Amino acid sequence: MAAGPKLDGAGVQKMKTLEDATTMLHRIHGLVETYAIAVKKSQPTSFTIQQIRRALPPLIGLLKGQFGMIADQVAALNLIASRGSNEQTRLRVLREGVGSIRIAMDIAAVRVRENHGEKEAENDEAPATARNEPV
């Protein structure tokens, strides 16, 4: 978690979920790039696709409770990974899917900081206005 305003309890929990999801997404991104290398070298890719398909459902389960829209994106990516198609097309869609999920998680982290940040600035402003009043 980055330095900044303190978060309330729900915000801390949501940020923890996003951090865990980011770690899982990094692993999935690595698997997608391993798949890309296998496609480029014309090696068998079925094992790598199976690894990707196995890595996505835990991410869906982690995100479903608090970030349902992002979980739906991951579920769609899982569906695309399991469909039979051209290797190059599948690779492009997997890369785009991982990128869009990463962007959605970054936006969610910003929203959590905005919505769950404890407001300490209001306490500092009250004495300042009291000093500026005439006696």
One digit per residue, pLDDT tens: the chain, 135 residues?
A: 455 668 777 888 888 999 999 999 999 999 999 999 999 999 988 899 999 999 999 999 999 989 999 999 999 999 988 887 788 999 999 999 999 999 999 999 999 888 877 765 444 454 555 555 555
Residue 132 has a pLDDT of 56
Counting every residue written for the chain, the total comes to: 135
Q: Can you give the residue range of the structural domain that contains 64?
A: 9-117
Residue 1 has a pLDDT of 46
| Residue 132 falls inside a structural domain | no
| Residue 127 falls inside a structural domain | no
| Residue 102 falls inside a structural domain | yes
Question: How many CA atoms lie less than 13 Å away from 35 in the CB half-sphere?
Answer: 25
Domain containing 98 — which CATH number? 1.20.120
Nearest to 103 by CA among 69, 76, 56, 54: 69
Residue 3 has a pLDDT of 56
Nearest to 27 by CA among 44, 4, 48: 48
DSSP lists the bridge partners of residue 7 as 117
Q: How many helices and strands in the chain, by DSSP H and E?
A: 5, 0
Q: Tell me how many domains the chain contains.
A: 1
Q: Kindly report the number of other CB atoms within 10 A of residue 24's CB atom.
A: 16
What is the distance between the alpha carbons of residues 92 and 18, in angstroms, rounded to a whole number? 25
Contact 97, 80 (CB under 8 A): yes
| Residue 86 falls inside a structural domain | yes
Residue 12 has a pLDDT of 85
| Residue 135 falls inside a structural domain | no
| Residue 68 falls inside a structural domain | yes
| Residue 124 falls inside a structural domain | no
| Residue 14 falls inside a structural domain | yes
What is the distance between the alpha carbons of residues 117 and 110, in angstroms, rounded to a whole number? 10
